Structure 1
């Protein structure tokens, strides 16, 4: 710890890590409140995950008019989305529009990485250390790093990678130049969202595509289309109603599950409901019945419906069988696709089952499985991220008594937060959509607005009451951790290993770090905390500091 007088360093009320949706909105809110704020962003532009994720076919799986800020009528009116599901370049364009329209750039430092943040108990301030050697002081340290950060990308440890002579890319840190697949043999490892979105686009020009898959996924058609003028006018006119539904719903989308079990409907009517949702496209299919994520028999009716659809699309039935998922649908994040299953009807697109013949190593020429060697000009790692905790643990964060966040959370089961926004021993530190909040089980911008508004309100309370330091109460934190675990155990998510629980990262202890009680319910819990004067937090005012 540096013992220099803290007056030697630039000082801010708040320092925010990351300039994506959450960092930009947090900056806007605190600056409106009159606080001095600085945002640090590793990328050379704003946008967070959308700055980095430029892989072929990168597109959002939330409908565009819900995947934006809803707090501002001006922003909503002035921006028009071009299609139902926006592409990465369009989302990045939107976030740049927001940065300009709200005049945020003057308080954002790009291409600047935070190496460490240590809480200094003598001055009850955070000392923040930048990669370039600078040191700063702040009262509030706020992480807006997202749940999936490019800096916590997951590349599986496959022997021999360094001897491979071809090109290789990770979908999370795709180069900013055009990658040419023309006439090349391309291997795609992984078939989550980025693998499923990129495969059809890569297949358009590649000579051969090999999809290395361990666990087949359920993909739902996006049924994407350009918006008409009428559709744009309609969603803009409905902003307040849409926003209200998003904040009350379970998932942060403006729709609710039908209040009926899948088993209460006769099978013909049920098929009809599923068929309508399938043709409409998007995630609403998982809200057709209210027990799809808690009742295995109900879930199986939808799982089987989608498996039947895959068999209808993929012409080679023995290949179709290999593409059929067996886990309960929607217990891994559902993927929206455009021509994914159709691509397997093309003669140059191949399925490689690495469950039955695992990848053993890279060779100079390509990838070897226990079955054979696949010569490849290019390998695309669509293997996702070290999610939930990974983005936070890339920094050296130390709280009271030199407690390291990395050590506190070292074992997955030990990860504990209070409401997903704060953690004991780390005073005045707030996490936007942190572990054990609804986060990635919801529409992210809705969760982000909910968190930022709440943190902003809490900081206003702290400032008004002359409080110097707030910290999540250890007992309340443990109670919240147990509650999150209990809710999880009541759902079918507990039956399925996934990146939600860190199963995609070799050696990472598995722990499910999402609150599954629903965004609407979680909003009520946040409200109760606020109206009880933040009773889940230990609060220290300046007067008691020397005690």
Structure 2
């Protein structure tokens, strides 16, 4: 048992690394517990072909260190997985973080003791760790959803999961491959592996909206010029609602909000939008986030744009989404629809032809059998809450966190704490801006707020801090009111944003949509008022 830390941090990804550095700066003793064999978090496990960030590299990076900003060299406008993983390792070495990171340490249980005001964490190997404060920096997309398809265990070929892709890669050349799922992961991966495999069958349940994007290497001197203006770039980032002032999938959404409405556009104007901007033009209307009929009109126009790209009419029609745009995370597209024009690619529409079972030699659907050598599962995540509900987290009176979230929904105060769980902080928990913003910009604010809070508690002699139930209730009412007038709460909107992708998960929109600057203002106001809404003992 170790009892020499002020704070235990769970997770050594983007959030955990900065949390450790920040706590050290504040003179606090901290240790990071990471279940993987390396650091990197989400960007360690999700190393499937084509894995890439949808925020520009110079903004999807830490802003707290001028030295790191200037020393690290990005090679592409939007970084691929290997480069992000290398960046995080560079940061860990540059800040000498590894000496306080315990790898291969899978936290399976956490218990708060009322008498001592301390948390006891137990790892899978039986080792225990004790500290007054715990910060869950465990990620919002780090707990994969395991599909439950009959016959999965009988398949004689290779079964691969995008969320735990083999470190050495996989040779798919000349093989018959099936991909189950068409979310962000699959949309990134499919154009890449289609160029390698003999035959690719894509099993699609829910078609995705995608945004065509050009990712390129930096030209000579381009990155140096941006680094010279990093101060202005970071200032603009902090003032931007999504924390990314330059081009990103999210910044496109902000632009759409101020565009003309589709419901008053003439047919000629609608066609012209597609002529000029393709699928992007089909979605560039200001009323599609608030009016379900406008959303359906834009979706129909989007289908027309797809039909201009995909030659087979049946395939093009099957690729048209059935949920409102914005309901799910926007996806960066690099040749996704064009891939379906390849002779070796087949789309299987599971809405019309569902999977019955997986057999030793492939997949049986209601209509036919597909012979396969490899099946790739790209089936999503238990987002926002899954990384904590997999752990047996017990707060006051032994109350189990997963039971609270199962009964009440994924409640929290500010996305930072949950009533009944003293001294437990969550980085980007439900009710925070994480899901709808640049994650790195959002996490830096969280880490700094948490660090300052713990330092204040220690200096003032407070033993515990706990979110008050009434403040938590008011915060959840506020966050849900922000999306009440949007298509995000329409019954057809089923996504990880609201937990509808997880069987049995209580449905509730889990993001804060008023933007990072407003969120930061509210958090600072609460801290300035002596941590209003928290009970300090």
Under a length normalisation based on structure 1, what TM-score does the superposition of the two structures give? 0.91
Query: Aligned equivalents of 1:455 and 1:20: distance in 2?
Result: 17
- Which whole-Å deviations, capped at 9, do the CAs of 1:458-491 have from their partners, x for residues lacking one? 1122122111100001110011112222222222
- Corresponding residue of 2:414: 419
> Does the 8 Å CA contact 1:262/1:270 hold for their aligned counterparts?
no
CA gap 1:261/1:199 in 2 versus in 1, 3 angstroms: closer
- Structure 1 residues 59 and 135: CA distance shift in structure 2, 3 A: same
Render the CA deviation track for 1:137-182: whole Å, top value 9, x for unaligned: 1011010011111xx2112211111111111111111111221111
**Residue 63 of structure 1: aligned partner:** 56
2:124 aligned with 1:128, yes or no? Answer: no
Other-structure match for 2:218: 227
Q: Report whether the alignment pairs 1:262 with 2:257.
A: no
Change (3 A) 1:200 1:418: same
Asked whether 1:534 is paired with 2:527, we answer no
1:241 aligned to which of 211, 229, 232: 232
Aligned to 1:140: 133
CA distance in structure 1 between the aligned counterparts of 2:117 and 2:276, rounded to whole angstroms: 57
Q: Residue 529 of structure 1 aligns to a residue in which SS?
A: helix
Q: Secondary structure at the match of 2:238?
A: helix
CA contact (8 A) 1:418 1:480 kept: yes
Tell me the residue number matched to 1:349.
Answer: 345
CA distance in structure 2 between the partners assigned to 1:322 and 1:184 by the alignment: 25
Work out whether 1:95 is the aligned partner of 2:88. yes
Contact 2:362 2:373 in 1 (8 A): yes
| Conservation of the 8 A alpha-carbon contact between 2:409 and 2:507 | no
Which residue pairs with 2:504 in the alignment? 507
User: Secondary structure at 2:132's aligned position in 1?
Assistant: strand
TM-superposed CA distance for 1:290, in Å, is: 5.7
Out of 254-263 and 62-71, give the one that drifted further.
Answer: 254-263
Cα pair distance change 1:498/1:208, threshold 3 Å: same
Which residues of structure 1 form unaligned runs of 5+? Answer: 1-7, 541-547
- Listed one character per residue, the Cα deviations across residues 399-444 of structure 1 (whole Å, up to 9, x for unaligned) are 1111111111123x43210001001111111000011111121111
Mapped contact 1:262–1:292 kept (Cα < 8 A): no
Q: Verify: 1:293 aligned to 2:289, yes or no.
A: yes
Whether the 8 Å CA contact 1:20–1:48 is kept in 2: the answer is: yes
Shift in alpha-carbon separation, 1:35–1:277, aligned structure 2, 3 A: farther
Shift of 1:275: 7.4
The residue that corresponds to 1:165 in the other structure is 156
- The 5 Å alignment of 1:240-389 reads 240-254=231-245, 257-258=254-255, 260-263=258-261, 291-296=287-292, 299=295, 303-304=299-300, 306-389=302-385
Taking the aligned partners of 2:276 and 2:388, their CA distance within structure 1 comes to 41
Q: Answer whether contact 1:438 1:519 (CA < 8 A) is retained.
A: yes
Cα offset for 1:29? 0.3
- 1:153 matches 2:131: no
TM-score between the two structures when normalised by the length of structure 2: 0.93
How many aligned positions are there?
526
* Contact 2:282–2:305 (CA under 8 A) maintained in structure 1: no
State which of 101, 104, 108 in structure 2 corresponds to 1:115: 108
3-state secondary structure, aligned to 1:478:
helix
- Find out whether 1:436 has 2:431 as its counterpart: yes
1:202 alignment partner, SS class: helix
Distance 2:341 2:242 in 1: 34
**Of 168, 180, 195, which residue of structure 2 is paired with 1:177?**
168
The alignment partner of 1:468 has SS state of: coil
Aligned to 2:494: 497
Displacement of 1:364 in angstroms is 1.3
Q: CA deviation at 1:345?
A: 0.4
Offset, 1:115: 1.5
Match of 1:28 among 21, 26, 45: 21
Q: 1: distance between equivalents of 2:216 and 2:191? A: 17
Measured at CA, do residues 278 and 251 of structure 1 come closer, stay the same or move farther in structure 2, by a change above 3 Å?
farther
CA distance in 2, matches of 1:116, 1:12: 18
Deviation at 1:329, TM superposition (A): 1.6
Counterpart Cα distance in 2 of 1:303 and 1:68: 34
**More deviation in 453-462 or 13-22?**
453-462
Separation (CA, whole Å) in 2 of partners of 1:355 and 1:456: 48
Superposed CA RMSD in Å reads 2.3
- CA distance in 2: counterparts of 1:394 and 1:10, whole angstroms: 24
The 2-side partners of 1:185 and 1:66 are apart by 39
1:486-541 Cα deviation digits (max 9, x unpaired): 2222221112111222222233332221122222221111111111111110010x
